Amino acid sequence: MVTELGTTTVETRRQPLPGTRSTHGSGGVRADPSRRGRAPLGWGGAWVLAVLLPFWLSEGQLSTATFIVIGAIGALGLGVLTGFAGQVSLGQAFFLGVGAYTAAVLGADHGWNAVLWIPAAGVVAAMFGALIGPTALRLRGLYLAIVTIGLVYIGQNVFTNATSLTGGPEGRALPTVHFANWLDFSAGNTLNLGGLTIDHNGLYYYLGLLLLSLSALFVWNLSRTRTGRAMQAVRERELAASVLGVNLARTKVTAFVISSFLAGVSGALYGSFISFAQPGDWSLTISIQYLAAIIVGGMGTVMGPILGSIVVFGLPDVIQNLSFVSQNGGGGLSATDFASIVYGVLIIVFLVVQPEGLMGLARRIPRRLGCSEGSMPEQRGDPPRRMTAATTKPEDQQ
Amino acid sequence: MTQFWQLLFEGFSLGCVYALIALAFTVIYRSSGVINFAQGAMLLAGAYVISWLTVNEGVPFFGAVAIAIVALALSGVAFQLLLLRRVATQRPIFAVVMITIGLGTALTSGVDAVFGSSTRVLGDPWGSTALHAAGLVFDWVKLWAIVFVAVVLAAFYVLDRHSRYGLAMRATASDEEAALAVGIPVARVQALTWAIAGSLAVLAGLFLSGYPSSPNPSLGESALTAFPAIILGGLGSPVGAVVGGILIGLIEVLAQGYDPSWLGNNFYEIAPYIVMIGVLLAKPYGLFGVRPAERL
Amino acid sequence: MSQPMLSVCGLGLRFGRLTAFEDVEFTVADGELFAVIGPNGAGKTSLFNVLSRVYEPFAGRVRLGERDLLRLRPRELAGAGLARTFQNLALFGDLSVLDNVLIGRHHLMRCGALRDGVFSRRARREERAHRTAALEALAFVGIDAWADTPASTLPYGLRKRTELARALAMEPRVLLLDEPVAGMGEGERSEISELVKRVHGEHGVTILLVEHDMGMVMDVADRVLVLDFGRVIACDTPAVVQRDPRVIRAYLGEGLEAA
């Protein structure tokens, strides 16, 4: 770089700024990308458990488990939108519905294979997400939340009116998943794998688990890279994030697109599993359930929505079996009422007492057990016990 | 043409009730930044309490209303002081709002569980009587709604503009810490806003469940229609709440009355939301809302 | 004559009927350390906010190198080489210190959501490289040991350093420092002062500095701009400004001895 001062030419050699050398060359400090080495092991174990689970469950319980894994996909999506990016949305039900009806139209009306209509459901829902996303640019916080409520109502109204696509208020049948003749999820079919028999519920369970695992992996990767960081920065301080170089529009719309894609897939699977869908299914109550799932599980985390889904979507099964709940519309406390009351109370309790949700509790367990690896320093200002290579002074290595 | 005037009257009356609900939202929002998603549930509870008192307990109507107002006002205050205020200091506003969502959900189902979903009678003295004039039908319940709301709004105006507490409410809305610093009892002021909201909920519930409706579980949802009212009026603006409420009432009733079939069935149910979205596209903070300043 | 790094011409900002500043004019040469001082309310942070495209001025022109700064959107500033720290700190409290600095690297990274989500080879490479860079920035300001700590749990001084590291990690050509030593004790002030001098001297970054600590300003600045009630009352070397009677009257009180 050459500067001219009067008649003298001075050559100044600019040193690269701290923190820049390594991206342009080799050497420098090596950063450890997998700081939390222990955590994935725990989740891996849980995953294995999830794979083996169906063999210990009864028919009804497996059905509930299937609802849980399918719902968890949608909850994961809401976790990205509201948990990471901080965009309050009560519109998840709408995207679920879009996914379900896409599956219906493509799978049943046009005979597409499930291997196509499942992702298609996600894509169509994502397209709507891309349309709605820009409203988050003009509207903040509570304004956005209420617009998403409007979205659910408008959606239900449209679903009810679009009889040719949705079957109107009475609803319509949804296609069951059919990959091939030997891999058909229809009720009554079973799959025989070397001695193991997997029935309708089990097949949906494993499909749901597979898609959930892939989605969770995707979201986990997002959380530890540029995109996820940007979303969290936008959640905390939009204006500052923007001044630091984050593209608000792209970040918010991306969050909507990912969230609605997952909701679309979740809705399609749900509708396919029960082989039916009606406009009343995609109500504000459902959106609130998803919100409850991410609150209970822990907002801003990857696994939180999944934990929360276990509670929220597993609840109806537990409630059905309670003695003081009336069965099948008899007098007394109905199951839906009680479930709603419990959701409401759960939301309140968790937000007041345990805002980090179940994940907050889960994180404390390793500490209680005495593992210090990967834990954060408790005291303010004290450096953590683990030192990075950068801070080890040469004198120490005598 | 008479249909138009008939619809205009009914829309205006409904709009006045929405204005009450919207005002209740606004009052709480202004002093604590929280939107009370449980307002609809409180309205529902109010209507049912009145109905239960008049029908089951034989309490005279206005006495029942008074009792319901006190009950809901106190419950609102308790909820605010015991739960919300504790949480608000440590959590972002969104979390507090979600707590009200939780309350709304639990309360709505709670009312349903306690009272059952069979239709009830409100027990109001005017029932289905109406005044017939100029070829139009003026249901007394709708006329009284307009009168009551006018009185309430006048009273609110006096409170807001000409009393210490009104000023205190506006100060708290503007800057809570500053208000505390000058000695305003913020907790008490916020509790007052919840008491007001609870009372307004009862009044709104009373009129929403009058003829031809009745105390029934869907009342809570009707209150949700007040959301577009506060949004299009602008959060935090009482004038906006009233204007928004009346506009939404008119839109809903006119849409239902004229019911253009090319817009699909039951368009009136979503007309308020469509209008709200339309207004927001042009004015992201509502007609009278103010853009919050972000300090860097 | 080389082009100045930053040139401000006739800049004015109003809030409703209140004028924050008016007719502000100055240029900053490439590699200069330029301080902006003035009493509270003189308009210093507002000036920075205009430069960061947060506020819209009602008059004036600003050139950043070749570009018209006032045409840029806030998010384009990073790409144009402008970074800043904030008077009241704008850290992302839930994120770790390292993640905060990595936000500074955001504009230098290219991977989109899809590549990030599948953690492609490119995403992995970028992550690794930029983490290293971020850690170096943290090491430079001396807080790399706290890399994994949530920013909100740190004491004030460490948070200020995090913000500095984040701004440095953006690889700016022009660095806006808004009161980098405000609220700090004696020892920390001189440490941060040293860091600022190092950034300026070793790395040739053009720095605009808003500060109240006159000792620091006189020590590090090449030139000083003095604002009072939204108007420029002096713009010269520290030594000259120090003795300017208008400056003394407005800001420094009776006769200043450089600390």
Query: ipTM score of the complex?
Result: 0.88
All partners of chain A with 3 or more CB pairs under 8 angstroms: B, C
Q: Looking at residue A22, what is its pLDDT?
A: 41
Query: Based on C-alpha coordinates, what's the Rg of chain B?
Result: 19
Q: Looking at residue A390, what is its pLDDT?
A: 36
Please judge whether A343 and B107 are an interchain contact, meaning their C-beta atoms are less than 8 angstroms apart: no
Model pTM?
A: 0.87
Q: State which residues of chain C have pLDDT below 50.
A: 1, 255-259
Across the range A80-107, mean pLDDT stands at 94
Side-chain-side CA neighbours of B6 within 13 Å: the count stands at 15
- Token pair in block for residue C130: 């930029």
Q: Looking at residue C113, what is its pLDDT?
A: 92
Q: Nearest Cβ partner of B270 from A135, A146, A153?
A: A153
CA distance C36 to C221: 10
Between B145 and A372, the more confident residue is B145
Residue A135: its chain B contacts at CB < 8 A?
A: 280
Q: Nearest Cβ partner of C74 from A28, A31, A242?
A: A242
Helix (H, G, I), strand (E, B), or coil: what is residue B125? coil
Across the range A135-146, mean pLDDT stands at 83
Q: Looking at the complex, report in whole angstroms how far the Cα of residue A138 sits from the nearest Cα belonging to chain B.
A: 6
Between B220 and C168, the more confident residue is C168
Judged by CB atoms within 8 Å, which residues 16-75 of C form the interface with B? Answer: 49, 52, 54
Please judge whether C129 and A236 are an interchain contact, meaning their C-beta atoms are less than 8 angstroms apart: no
CA distance B198 to B144: 20
Please judge whether C155 and A28 are an interchain contact, meaning their C-beta atoms are less than 8 angstroms apart: no
Residue C88: its chain B contacts at CB < 8 A?
A: 295-296
Judged by CB atoms within 8 Å, which residues 62-121 of B form the interface with A? Answer: 83, 86-87, 91, 93-99, 101-110, 112-113, 116
CB-CB contact of C138 with C144 (8 Å): yes
**Interface membership of B291 toward C (CB under 8 Å):** no
The Cα diameter of chain C in Å comes to: 65
CA distance A285 to A268: 18
CA distance A235 to A247: 13
Q: Looking at residue A154, what is its pLDDT?
A: 94
Q: Looking at residue A387, what is its pLDDT?
A: 35
With 60 as the cut, is the pLDDT of residue B58 above it? yes
| DSSP assignment of B183-240 | T--HHHHHHHHHHHHHHHHHHHHHHHTSTT--S-TTHHHHHHTHHHHHHHH-TT-HHH
CB-CB contact of A258 with C113 (8 Å): yes
Residue pLDDT, tens place only, A328-343: 555 567 788 888 888 8
pLDDT averaged over chain A? 81
What is the number of H-type helices and E-type strands within chain A?
16, 8
Q: Looking at residue A57, what is its pLDDT?
A: 85
Preceding omega of A383 cis (within 30 degrees of 0): no
| DSSP assignment of B234-284 | -TT-HHHHHHHHHHHHHHHHHHHHH--GGG-TTHHHHHHHHHHHHHHHH-T
Q: Looking at residue C204, what is its pLDDT?
A: 85
Q: Looking at residue A329, what is its pLDDT?
A: 55
CB-CB contact of C94 with A236 (8 Å): yes
**Beta-strand relationship, A2-5 and A8-11:** antiparallel
Under the banding of pLDDT at 50, 70 and 90, the label for residue A375 is very low
Across the range B209-223, mean pLDDT stands at 83
> How far is residue B217 CA from its own chain's centroid?
16
**Interface membership of B293 toward C (CB under 8 Å):** no
Q: Looking at residue B296, what is its pLDDT?
A: 62
Q: Looking at the complex, report in whole angstroms how far the Cα of residue A346 sits from the nearest Cα belonging to chain C.
A: 24
Residue B45: its chain A contacts at CB < 8 A?
A: none
β-partners of residue A145 are: none
Between A42 and A177, the more confident residue is A177
Residue pLDDT, tens place only, B100-132: 989 998 999 888 888 876 778 888 888 788 888
Full strand arrangement of the beta sheet holding C231-236: C82-84, C174-178, C206-210, C33-37, C223-228, C231-236
Q: Looking at the complex, report in whole angstroms how far the Cα of residue B12 sits from the nearest Cα belonging to chain C.
A: 37
**Interface membership of B32 toward A (CB under 8 Å):** no
Please judge whether A244 and C78 are an interchain contact, meaning their C-beta atoms are less than 8 angstroms apart: yes
With 90 as the cut, is the pLDDT of residue A71 above it? yes
Judged by CB atoms within 8 Å, which residues 87-126 of C form the interface with A? Answer: 90, 92-95, 99, 101-104, 106-109, 111-113, 116-119, 123-124, 126
Q: DSSP strand E in chain C: where?
A: 6-15, 18-28, 33-37, 59-64, 67-68, 82-84, 174-178, 206-210, 223-228, 231-236
